Structure 1
Amino acid sequence: MVTEGSGPAGALAGKVAVVTGGGQGVGRGIALALAGAGARVVVCGRTETTLDAVREEIETRGGMALTIRCDVTVPADLTRLVERTAEAFGTIDILVNSAMIVPHGTLLDISDETIAAGWESGPLAALRLMRLCHPHLRGGGSVVNISSGASIAPMTHDRAVYAATKAALNSISRGAATEWGPDGIRVNTIMPFASSPALDRFAADEPAAMADVLATIPLRRTGDPESDIGQAAVFLASPAAAYITGAILPVDGGAAYVR
């Protein structure tokens, strides 16, 4: 459903943003932050209950939201997502690709099905949706793709395929920034380290291991999906970043580059 109202004023007032994987984790945090900056946000994902919960959060804060159930591995769902967004709001100004099935496992053990799911839901889905949104984004639109520090990590035990999918997303993002810059479309990438349901379970089940992870982060804490990662996405999508494109921004407390 669409919530009527003018929405909060802010750097993105009047803009329309689509956030995939917006029902939880980093996607949820970005959706809330974009709405807080004034954007009308389309929150999409596979689980209606989580999508509705995020919509209600946005509404409670005075924002405007539309929820659309969408499996990013299904091309027809992506087409429907873009069509319904255009019908509801007239255009798309901001696209955030956050959804992805994470393909974890060693190179010897990981299944072909898991590998395919990672590629289909990650870089391929992002590229498909970017291409569908391109006509709407022309003349001032912005794409923010969600990558990972794993894409540049020197060691990726159990995460080599995941790292490869995110490295591919980095390359696609840089390519789009180069090719679509003359169209007035900016494309940037964030590499976050933030709280998520999976990370929270890991911290609860293996506190010592989580302490070891935090010890590698110079700021010694986990990022907040809304106030840390979300605000970075707001900045990259806003006029304040009008001369920034093709960037890969680590928002991870210094973990990616500082040791």
Structure 2
Amino acid sequence: MKLQGKVAIVSGSASGIGRGIALAMAKEGAHIAIVDVNEEKGKETLADVTQFTEGMLFIKDISVKENVYAIVDAVVKKFGKLDIMVNNAHASRQALFIETTQELLDLSFGTGFYPTFHFMQAAYPELKKTKGKVINFASGAGLEGQVTQTSYAAAKEAIRAISRVAANEWGPEGINVNMISPIALTAGVEQWRDSAPQLYDEMINKIPLRRLGDPEQDIGKAAVFLASSDSDYITGQTIMVDGGSIKLR
């Protein structure tokens, strides 16, 4: 029980990677605040989480700054503290660079970068008290400059930038800030696999471990490591949980 008694907020945790992280942390003893806009899926995840621990559900639009602060306040009011902040939520749409509009940039930054930034600011006073952990999310889209991913790549690299700044500024106060860059088999990827099996197989063959990560068993356990005392001497790092696809230097 690596996270026994810890309190975590996990954004975008009704499904996919966020759900996997919420479940992995719950099974290690953490109390989980699930944050999402999908009420049906959020309730399903809450039901699964509460088989192992206490949980809360927030169906909130976190592109609204006031909602972010209200979530942090409610979590601290219920549990008395905050130990772990996981910023997973992000939405975007693909377009060629020349066709990327302000609307597409606003979507990606408004659902990914700004909520991450605001959650970090809102959580900071509490994380300072607990010498807590921040886990943010990077992407190969930004690291490699994947085509049609201008808005997503830009927001993800902006998240990496502020994460490194916070790691430097908050390190003396005992707060660790790290990033995960994942590849995972989510419901959306499963749909794509079923509709384009040849392209899916081509992608798998480019991954050294020849499979996609499991949201709970692979990405979730990496998040548990970064949230636990096992990672106390790691900060400001991008952890590639992608089967060896990208090797940082």
Q: State TM-score, norm by structure 1.
A: 0.93
Deviations 1:107-150 (A, max 9, x none): 22233212111011112210111000000000410000011112
Aligned to 2:193: 203
Aligned to 1:229: 219
Matched, 1:39 2:30: yes
Kindly provide the amino acid, as one letter, of the partner of residue 134 in structure 1: Y
Shift of 1:103: 3.3
**Correspondent of 2:42 among 39, 48, 51:** 51
Matched, 1:15 2:12: no
Q: Secondary structure at the match of 2:240?
A: strand
Q: State TM-score, norm by structure 2.
A: 0.96
State how far apart, in whole Å, the 1-side matches of 2:236 and 2:103 are: 31
The sequence identity of aligned pairs, in percent, is 36
Matched, 1:125 2:115: yes
Shift of 1:224: 0.2
Given that 1:103 and 1:115 are in contact with CA atoms closer than 8 Å, whether structure 2 keeps it comes out as no
Given that 1:18 and 1:44 are in contact with CA atoms closer than 8 Å, whether structure 2 keeps it comes out as yes
State how far apart, in whole Å, the 2-side matches of 1:201 and 1:188 are: 30
Deviations 1:189-235 (A, max 9, x none): 00000011221111011000111111110000010000000000000
Aligned to 2:75: 85
State how far apart, in whole Å, the 2-side matches of 1:204 and 1:128 are: 37
State how far apart, in whole Å, the 2-side matches of 1:102 and 1:158 are: 11
Q: Secondary structure at the match of 2:201?
A: helix
1:75-224 equivalences in 2 (<5 Å) = 75-139=65-129, 140-153=131-144, 155-224=145-214
Shift of 1:104: 1.5
State how far apart, in whole Å, the 2-side matches of 1:257 and 1:197 are: 26
* Range 125-134 or range 97-106, more displaced: 97-106
Given that 1:59 and 1:65 are in contact with CA atoms closer than 8 Å, whether structure 2 keeps it comes out as yes
State how far apart, in whole Å, the 2-side matches of 1:47 and 1:163 are: 24
State how far apart, in whole Å, the 2-side matches of 1:186 and 1:43 are: 21
CA RMSD of aligned residues (A): 1.2
Shift of 1:28: 0.4
Q: What is the total number of aligned residue pairs between the two structures?
A: 247
Kindly provide the amino acid, as one letter, of the partner of residue 22 in structure 2: A
State how far apart, in whole Å, the 2-side matches of 1:169 and 1:127 are: 8
Q: Secondary structure at the match of 1:12?
A: coil
Matched, 1:29 2:24: no
State how far apart, in whole Å, the 1-side matches of 2:176 and 2:147 are: 33
